[in-house]
Structure 1
Amino acid sequence: MDRVAEILAEASAEVVEPRFRALAAGEIMEKAPGEVVTVADREAEAIIERRLRELLPVPVVGEEAVSADPGLARALHSEPAVWLVDPVDGTSNFIAGRPDYAVMASLVRSGRTVAAWIWQPSTATCFTAELGSGAWRNGHRLTRSPAAGEPAKWRGSLKSRFLEPEQRRRLEANAAAFGEITPGRNAAGVEYPDLVEGALDFILYWRTLPWDHAPGSLLVTEAGGVAARLDGTPYRPEAPGCEDGLLVAADPAAWERTRDILLGR
């Protein structure tokens, strides 16, 4: 666990942090319509991939590598163990000079996330989780308390960008039952820790790219929260395009209540 945390922090210090608020125009590229990447993303992924393979020689499914070759994500289903890597989670924030970004990795065995790491360079904070062994922040055990009181007191986030317009309208209307709805911070590696530490009581994601959600979902569940598909199935990392919809909440009761409210049940 400690060596992977070191790998992420080292890669961040080598090629990510020196470019924060210092990116040249030619270091920002569009990899797909509406999707940007930087030279920091690509260089960090290459460093992390090489060093993770030295630690455990299994396939590495990295966000930028999959962008170039989508077939690489099949390893999540075909291989007994896989590393997942998001070299700069929150790239749009990174480009804009906002500190809400993270460097993330997770280890998946037989389709289940068994270890996770989230490095937040701006605050030098490392979140880790290991299946069955708990969630940690800079070595201190994390436990998420149940959501307090009634839904009218809860604070949540709806990530509705990829929803159909009618779905978005319906969910946003139902969400009026909650105390506060925020747009989120455009980085799963910041939002999941926010929920564990009590700044949020629930988050509804729609598109669930595995490198974005495997680390945070394990952090949440190991801290006592819930990360599940809307049918109640526990989250498992899937190749892009396989499954959509993921509700994360502070505790099982809050998860059930949030789902029922959002779906109008």
Structure 2
Amino acid sequence: MDITRVALAMTDAADAEIRPRFRALAESDISLKGPNDYVTEADKQAEIFLTRRLREIVEVPVVGEEATAEDPTLPDLLADASAAWVVDPVDGTYHFVHGSETYAVMVAYMESGVAEAGWILHPETGDLYIGVRGQGASLNGKPITPRVVGDRASGGRTLGSLRGAASARLVDVAASDALRAGQESVGTASEPRMCAGWDYADLLEGRTDYVLFSRTHAWDHAPAAAIVREAGFAVRRLDGSEYLPGVQGAPLLTAPVDLWDDIAAALAPAWLVASA
């Protein structure tokens, strides 16, 4: 699998199908899959473009967000397929529709249910994050040094002073209250950006220390999982299980390896309330 060819396919898709439509969408180019869940011609055409190009690199199934909207069973193959691509052609479509540059293109390459490599492209800035299992992570070709945030880091922040992002929008009032209480016990918190490709970039660049997602679609998290693991983060569900993109389960917490258990202990009560 050629890492550089994947990156080129992503930038070509952005230049051909996404960026020409940025801040230039006609009403007929936009539709809704659900409340605030937009899909545009950029999403559709970029996924077609990427599906063709990725299959030229490695001829395996492609699980794309828009293809899954047509065939909801498509992600089921990720648990057992020997290899597969995962594609989010425009992550953060809400932002794209509203003219914000905080959208992304994301791709993962999976083997036997595990994200082996991931790519996140921010088309409007040109920033490109890549991670390959056992080979490290990079931003624009420069290695990302694995982060150590907690008490064992020289001058690092303590558990009570962390900055996190966790959404309370998708849980009931009791769970939302439990989540906020848990977040306050470990530091300050904000809502995620509604674009995983930028939320994970915030982690990688030190703007936040952890992020919790209740929705765990493969196209939102498989690409980032391959990157952030190489940068010193643990990607696990709140029940402690490792994140496998083809398996559904508890909310997904990504945090520095040395602090994951402590942060999970603080945030898990919210999940327990929500699932009761």
In the superposition, the TM-score normalised over structure 1's length comes to 0.94
Query: Which residue does 2:232 correspond to in 1?
Result: 224
Specify which of 244, 249, 253 is matched with residue 247 of structure 1: 253
1:132 counterpart SS class: coil
Compute the displacement of 1:170 (Å): 0.8
Kept in 1, the 8 Å contact 2:120–2:128? The answer is: yes
Match in the other structure for 1:181: 189
Unaligned runs of 5+ residues in structure 2 are: 150-155, 271-276
Rounded to whole Å, the distance in 2 between the matches of 1:62 and 1:218 is: 17
Match of 2:267 in 1: 262
* Whole-angstrom CA distance in 1 between matches of 2:58 and 2:252: 29
Q: Partner of 1:244: helix, strand, or coil?
A: coil
Residue 204 (1) aligns with residue 212 (2): yes
- RMSD over aligned CA atoms reads 1.5
**1:74-115: CA deviation from partner (whole Å, max 9, x where unpaired):** 221242111000000000000111111100100111000001
CA distance in 2 between partners of 1:113 and 1:78 (Å): 13
Out of 236, 239, 243, which is 1:235 matched to? 243
**Residue type of the partner of 2:162?**
W
Residue 264 (structure 1) shift: 5.3
TM-aligned CA deviation for residue 186 of structure 1: 1.3
- One-letter amino acid of the structure 2 residue matched with residue 144 of structure 1: P
Percentage identity across paired residues of the two chains: 39
- 1:33 deviates by 4.5
Matched AA of 1:263? A
Which runs of at least 4 in structure 1 moved beyond 4 Å after TM superposition?
Answer: none
CA distance in structure 1 between the aligned counterparts of 2:7 and 2:196, rounded to whole angstroms:
18
The structural deviation recorded for 1:160 is 2.6
Q: Secondary structure at the match of 1:235?
A: coil
Distance 1:33 1:71 in 2: 22
Kindly tell me the number of residue pairs found equivalent between the two proteins. 262
Shift of 1:253: 2.4
Q: Deviations over 1:177-213 (max 9, x none)?
A: 2332111211111111210111111111111000100
Point out where structure 1 has 5 or more consecutive residues left out of the alignment.
none
Q: Which is further off, 164-173 or 108-117?
A: 164-173
User: Within the alignment, does 1:172 sit opposite 2:174 as a pair?
Assistant: no
- Aligned AA (1:11): A
Q: Distance in 1 between matches of 2:224 and 2:183?
A: 23
Q: Secondary structure at the match of 1:263?
A: helix
- Compute the displacement of 1:165 (Å): 3.0
**Structure 2 residue corresponding to 1:140, chosen from 139, 142, 155:** 142
Q: Secondary structure at the match of 2:94?
A: helix
Measure how far apart 1:32 and its partner are: 3.4
